[in-house]
Every structure is written in C-alpha cells, then in structure tokens.
C-alpha cells in the first residue's frame, strides 16, 4: 500500500461524512412536504398531479401503496421491453442497431426496472440512443425513486402513531424524482461533460490511429445516463467497459465524484431517518454500522490487491510500488487509476447496489472477491442502494431487537413500537428471499449443462463466477465477475427471475411492516428499554448482520473464493 492510496480513501470518507447532514436534511423536508418551493419544478409537479388525477393530500394504506408500486413497474418492464424489440423501427438509432432478442430484452427490462443494472450485452453495440435514453435512463430514475419511497414509507410507519396510512406512492415518486434526483443529476451531468464525457445525438466517429489503423469511436448521450446510473444505484454503463471507459470516467477526479454519487443518497438517508423519527442519534447509529462494515471491506480489498502475488515469486517480476508503476495486482485494473482507486471503487460498487465498475472483478484475488460477494450477500445493507440500504438495515434492526428481547425476557420494541410476531415474520421473509434465490439458482446452474456452458474458468473460480452472478442479481447489484457468458437463454431467464423476486418479494414485506407499525401506539420508555443509539447497539446490529450472513453463505463461499485462496497459497492455482 502507498500513502497516496490511503489518502484517496481518507478523502473519499471525508466527502461522504460532509454530505450526510445537508442532503439528508433536505430529503427529509422533501418527503415531509416542507421543502422550499422551486417554482418551475413546483409547476411541473402540479401539472403531473393534475394530469394523472392524483390528490397529494390523499394517502394510501400499505396494500394500496404496494399495488401501485407493482403495477407501475410492471408497466415499466413492458415499455422497456418494447423499446428494445422495436428499436430498429424507432428514431434516434444512427448506427442502425437491430432489435434485441426476446430473452435479452426481457432480462434487460427486468434488470433496470428492479434497480439492478445487470447487463448481458455491450451497450454501444446493442442499444440505440432511444433505448438508452427513454429506456435505461428513465428506468434508472424511477427505480431509484421507488427505493427511496419504500424506505420513507417504512420510516413513516416507525414514526407515526395509530395511523392507517404510510403515504402516497405517486406523490413520493414524483417529489423524489423532481426535487432530489433531477437537480443532482443536472449538476453531475454538467460536471461530467466538463471533464470530457460525451453528450451528443450524433453518430459514431470514424478515426485513424497513429499506426494507420481504422477505428470506430462510439459516443452518444453518455453524460446524462452516467449521472443517474451512479446516483440511482443502477450502475448500467453506456459502454461495455462501464466506468473503466474513458468516455464514462475520464479522470481520477471524475472517478472520485462518481464514487461519491454512488453512496450519496444511501448515506444521507440515515440522517433523514433520524430527522423523521425525531432522534438524530438513531440515524447516526445506523450510519456507524454501515461505516464499520464498509471500512472492514476496504481494509481487506486494498491490502490484498496491493500485495505481491506469490505465484510470480519464481519470475523476475518487480511487483513493488514505485515512481513508474503502481505495484501489486494490476491485472484487470485501470492503469490510469491504479490499485487504490480501483480497490475502493470495487468495494463501493458492491457495498452499494450500484454495480458500476472501473476494473475487472474477475481478476481480483480470491479474498477480494470474497469481500465483494459478502458485501452483496449481506442484503446490501453496507450503504446499499438508495432506499434499499436503509430499509434492509432496518430489517436487521428488527431481528436484533427481537433477539435482544428474547435474551432479556422483555417484549421487543424499537423507537416506542412493539415488535411482534407479524413484523418478525415479514422481516425474516424479506431477509430470506435473496439467500434462497442465490443458493438455489447457483446450485442449479452448477450442475445443468446450460449453466456450465457459460463458464470461463473451471474449479473454485468458475463456481465463484456463477455464485457472483446470482448474488448480484438477487441483491439488485448488477456487477459481474464477467468471466461468465451470461447472454444465453438459460442465464437471461434465470437471472431475470432472480432480479424480479429479489426486488419485489423484499419490498412487499417491508411495506407490510410499515403498515403494521404505523397502526401501533407508542409505548413509553422505561428502565428496561434497550437503547438503540449507543455503541452497544451498534455492535449488536453489526454482529447480527455478520452472523446471519455468515451462517447463510459460508458453505458456498468455502467452495468458491476460500478454496481458491487456499489453493493459491499452496501454489497449486492462481
């Protein structure tokens, strides 16, 4: 490791801490209807409500909220599917892209409607500008706003007293999109254009290299998609190389801002939570758990990638960092950024639900791959996606206080709300859906010929590629080891099923919990009430997350990255 690399990580951490209070407070005012009115956006909001027949003063119970959400995203899947299937007949297709195949179109439509951004295709050779703009970019906005809306609905359920409603999905969706996502994306898009990211509807450019070879330079409306891809947790790249492509991530400064955008809403929502429940300490406790788990991941990945590879010991290869080289495991890394920023970007990407990458995760060392898998397997509560990270961590909070209540012989409660059988059942259902999808589908793909046909490697690493794919899909992350050929009928359909179930079979139980908690009265604080804002609870919650994840996934991890690490240490594999 180098001091420059450690300094990059420290600067990133400082930027994250600096944005929590202002953005978290602003989001709280937005979702509570107290934000300052921006006349142009307020006029748009009123126009949308009038056109759609929405009364912003009318709220919904949790079944109505959930039904509106599900129907809206089913419609989004159909629209995006249709855009891809008909793109050869539609405008804004200067390269004459053909229609996308049915299975790939379905996979892509489900991917972006569920905030996953799994890509079994190369964007610059598969999708037209219209599909990218009206399909991918629009769904990135809407799926992000939905995640934040669900988290806000759950917080309302915790904060309210004897209320039959948890908000209005249409109002939450509209206000989050207009007042939070659009302003940030406009600023971020302009910044990226300034740094060199293209934003044009012109066709691709023919160029001649200095060696005299012919080359086609892909371009398009990249900056607008890049901004929301990062902010939304969708992570879908305009180009196949994603954020390793210089047209998506042109400089080290751009890379730092892109990582900040990935975490921006996820960390800010912890402060929003504290504001809405009337106790900011509760939000800081949740942020402390996220920060603790994230720091542990970085502390493994960066040293692992910066260290020398024992497999090269017999060769005359200098792996030490120096003035002319980054040192460490540079295979698959972006040479413009080096090991430190690539390691940080990989950890940020998998700790969130973003899935954007600036290096090849398939080339990371086994322990680094284990951390990236674990980040996603823990239901992406280490910041997680916008909204999904917060409500995922609150599910673990319910489990933690329930376990603490059993140990002390008291009825579990959280912020004055008794946690009873219905809440615990719904929390466990939501927490068990992703592991069931990951383990069952990975097991099937590891034995059937259609699953094995996509492998790029044999042995433990090949199993890790399959495990990573289904983990990324069920956890709505979207990144990949990329050694797996997933653009087949088998993988397109099974991954689509994992993405759909991993998103909506978690959201519905969360909304059910929000509804039941909103109906309950608050119980007064007593001497036996478990404090949920101090160090003791932070350790309890972090331990709950790690124990549940460890007990669930350790056998699978032992067959993949753990076995590969031990084999590499023994000198029998790399």
Q: SS3 letters for 221-287?
A: EHHHHHHHHHHHCCCCCCCCCHHHCCCCCCCHHHHHHHHHHHHHHHHHHHHHHHHHHCCHHHHHHHH
Nearest to 295 by CA among 244, 347, 342: 347
Q: Which pLDDT does position 380 carry in this prediction?
A: 77
Q: Which pLDDT does position 49 carry in this prediction?
A: 92
Query: CA torsion angle for 94, 98, 100, 101 (degrees, to 10)?
Result: 180
Write out 304-332 in H/E/C secondary structure. HHHCCCHHHCCCCCCCCCECCECCCCCCC
Residue 28 lies inside a defined structural domain of this protein: yes
Residue 535 lies inside a defined structural domain of this protein: no
pLDDT tens by residue, 407-457: 777 778 888 888 888 999 999 999 999 999 999 999 999 999 998 988 878
Residue 241 lies inside a defined structural domain of this protein: yes
Residue 67 lies inside a defined structural domain of this protein: yes
Residue 123 lies inside a defined structural domain of this protein: yes
pLDDT tens by residue, 147-171: 999 999 999 999 988 889 999 999 9
Residue 285 lies inside a defined structural domain of this protein: no
Does the pTM exceed 0.85?
yes
- Sequence-distant (≥ 6) Cβ neighbours of residue 459 within 8 angstroms: 564, 567, 573
Confirm if 263 and 231 have CB atoms less than 8 A apart.
no
Taking the alpha carbons of 122, 124, 126, 127 in that order, is the dihedral positive or negative?
Answer: positive
What is the CA angle 103-106-109, rounded to 5? Answer: 150
If residue 434 lies in a helix (H) or strand (E), which one and from where to where? Answer: helix 421-445
Give dist(CA 29, CA 25) in Å, integer. 6
Give dist(CA 426, CA 398) in Å, integer. 10
Residue 226 lies inside a defined structural domain of this protein: yes
- Sequence-distant (≥ 6) Cβ neighbours of residue 547 within 8 angstroms: none
Nearest to 158 by CA among 379, 390, 502: 390
Q: Which pLDDT does position 574 carry in this prediction?
A: 44
Give dist(CA 163, CA 153) in Å, integer. 12
Place of tokens 């998609």: 225
Q: Which pLDDT does position 319 carry in this prediction?
A: 67
Q: Which pLDDT does position 323 carry in this prediction?
A: 66
If residue 414 lies in a helix (H) or strand (E), which one and from where to where? Answer: strand 413-414
Structural domain total, the chain = 1
Low-confidence ranges of the chain (pLDDT < 50): 574
Decide: helix, strand or coil at residue 208: strand
Q: Give the residue numbers spanning the domain of 62.
A: 20-278
Residue 335 lies inside a defined structural domain of this protein: no
Q: Which pLDDT does position 314 carry in this prediction?
A: 66
User: Considering just the CA atoms, what is the radius of gyration of the chain in Å?
Assistant: 23
Q: Which pLDDT does position 114 carry in this prediction?
A: 92
């Amino acid at each position: 490791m180098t001091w420059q690399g450690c300094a990059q990580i420290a600067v990133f951490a400082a930027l994250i801490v600096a944005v929590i209070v202002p953005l978290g407070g602003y989001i709280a005012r937005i979702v509570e209807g107290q934000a300052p009115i921006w006349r142009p956006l307020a006029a748009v909001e009123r126009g949308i409500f009038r056109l759609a027949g929405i009364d912003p003063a009318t709220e919904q119970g949790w079944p109505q909220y959930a039904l509106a959400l599900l129907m809206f995203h089913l419609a989004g899947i159909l629209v995006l599917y249709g855009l891809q299937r008909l793109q050869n007949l539609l405008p804004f297709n200067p390269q004459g892209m053909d229609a996308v195949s049915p299975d790939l179109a379905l996979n892509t439509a489900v991917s972006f409607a569920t905030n996953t951004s799994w890509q079994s295709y190369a964007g610059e050779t598969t999708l037209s500008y219209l599909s990218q703009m009206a399909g991918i970019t629009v769904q990135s906005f809407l799926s992000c706003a939905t995640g934040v809306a669900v988290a806000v609905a759950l917080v309302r359920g915790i904060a309210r007293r004897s209320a039959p409603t948890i908000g209005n999905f249409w109002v939450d969706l509209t206000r989050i999109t207009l007042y939070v996502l659009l302003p940030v994306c406009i600023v971020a898009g302009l910044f990226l254009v300034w740094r060199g990211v293209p934003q044009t509807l012109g066709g691709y450019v023919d160029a001649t290299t200095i060696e005299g070879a012919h080359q086609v330079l892909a371009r398009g409306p990249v900056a607008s998609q890049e901004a929301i891809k990062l902010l939304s947790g969708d992570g879908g790249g305009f180009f196949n190389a994603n954020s390793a492509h210089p047209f998506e991530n042109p400089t080290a400064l751009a890379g730092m801002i892109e990582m900040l955008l990935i975490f921006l809403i996820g960390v800010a929502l912890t402060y929003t939570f504290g504001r809405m429940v009337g106790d900011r300490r509760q939000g800081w406790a949740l942020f402390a758990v996220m920060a603790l788990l994230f720091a542990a991941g970085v502390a493994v990945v960066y040293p692992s990638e910066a260290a020398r590879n024992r497999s090269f010991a017999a060769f005359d290869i200098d792996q030490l960092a120096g003035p002319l080289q980054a040192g460490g495991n540079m295979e698959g890394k972006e040479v413009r950024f080096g090991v430190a920023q690539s390691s940080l970007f990989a950890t940020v990407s998998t700790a969130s639900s973003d899935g954007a990458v600036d290096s090849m995760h398939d080339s990371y060392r086994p322990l680094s791959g284990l951390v990236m898998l674990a980040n996603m397997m823990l239901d992406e509560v280490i910041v997680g996606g916008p909204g999904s990270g917060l409500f995922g961590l609150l599910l673990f909070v319910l489990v933690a206080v329930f376990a603490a209540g059993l140990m002390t012989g008291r009825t579990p409660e959280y912020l004055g709300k008794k946690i009873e059988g219905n809440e615990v059942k719904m929390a466990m259902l939501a927490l068990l859906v992703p592991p069931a999808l990951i383990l069952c589908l990975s097991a099937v793909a590891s034995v059937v010929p259609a699953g094995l046909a996509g492998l790029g490697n044999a042995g433990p690493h090949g199993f890790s590629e399959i495990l990573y794919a289904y983990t990324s899909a069920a956890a709505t992350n979207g990144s990949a080891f990329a050694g797996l050929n997933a653009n087949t009928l088998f993988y397109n359909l099974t991954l689509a099923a994992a993405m759909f179930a991993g998103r909506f079979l978690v959201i519905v139980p969360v909304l059910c919990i929000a509804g039941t908690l909103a109906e309950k009265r608050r119980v007064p604080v007593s001497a036996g009430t478990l404090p949920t804002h101090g160090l003791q609870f932070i350790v309890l919650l972090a331990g709950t997350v790690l124990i549940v994840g460890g007990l669930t996934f350790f056998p699978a991890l032992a067959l993949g990255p753990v076995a590969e690490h031990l084999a590499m240490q023994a000198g029998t594999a790399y």
